[in-house]
Amino acid sequence: MPHKEKISLDQVDRKILHFLQRDASITIKELAEKVHLSPTPCWKRIQRMEENGVIRSRVVLLDPDKVEAGITVFLAIKTDKHNADWSQKFSEVMSSFPEIVEIYRMSGEVDYLVRIVVPDIPAYDALYKNIIGKIALTDMTSMFAMEQMKYTTALPVLEQE
């Protein structure tokens, strides 16, 4: 398990992260050139950021339409249960569905906000029925995304100029 002590990131580290977030398949040589380092120090910086948990993983991003996950649904959930046992069960139940790709515990009027991806409305309806069959919820409101106007997995790591 990686050691996750807090580390400070200098501007070169931030540039490395900036480029890796956009293309994790970039070669060390290409990345080193972009951040004005030689390959060995560049690689050592990446290893340090992986060991300290700054870089959690390197992944491939898929086109949702091409893998039958083109419908995005946001599910706002309210519950009258606010104890640790229920919260743990909720997390386990919701995390068991591969269509559920994000879960957030919220402040305000909604207790949880869930992002779901499915191929079509009948698939969402089946998932909805499966969810309510496994855990009691006070209220669920489904919101279907009509258009994705911005999507990125890249976090803002460069300082604003």
* Domain with 45 in it: 11-51
pLDDT in tens, 29-86: 999 999 999 999 999 999 999 999 999 999 999 999 999 999 999 999 999 999 999 9
Q: Is 16 within a domain?
A: yes
pLDDT score recorded for residue 147: 97
- Residues 67/159, Cβ–Cβ less than 8 Å: no
Flag whether pLDDT at 4 surpasses 70. Answer: no
pLDDT score recorded for residue 160: 58
Q: Are residues 44 and 85 in the same domain?
A: no
Q: Is 121 within a domain?
A: yes
d(CA 110, CA 75): 10
Q: Are residues 88 and 38 in the same domain?
A: no
Q: Please state the domain count of the chain.
A: 2
Q: Is 153 within a domain?
A: no
Q: Is 33 within a domain?
A: yes
Q: Are residues 26 and 80 in the same domain?
A: no
Q: Is 56 within a domain?
A: no
Let me know how long the chain is.
Answer: 161
Q: Are residues 79 and 29 in the same domain?
A: no
- Greater model confidence, 120 or 6: 120
Query: Degrees (nearest 5) of the Cα angle 90, 91, 96?
Result: 100
Q: Is 30 within a domain?
A: yes
Q: Is 45 within a domain?
A: yes
Q: Are residues 102 and 32 in the same domain?
A: no
Q: Are residues 140 and 79 in the same domain?
A: yes
Q: Are residues 41 and 97 in the same domain?
A: no
d(CA 89, CA 105): 14
Q: Domain containing 79 — which CATH number?
A: 3.30.70.920
Q: Are residues 47 and 68 in the same domain?
A: no
pLDDT score recorded for residue 161: 53
What global pTM score does this model have?
0.87
Q: Are residues 135 and 76 in the same domain?
A: yes
pLDDT in tens, 100-149: 999 999 999 999 999 999 999 999 999 999 999 999 999 999 999 999 99
Q: Is 138 within a domain?
A: yes
d(CA 116, CA 101): 6
Q: For residue 152, name the pLDDT band (cuts at 50, 70, 90).
A: very high
Query: Degrees (nearest 5) of the Cα angle 135, 89, 141?
Result: 45
Q: Are residues 76 and 129 in the same domain?
A: yes
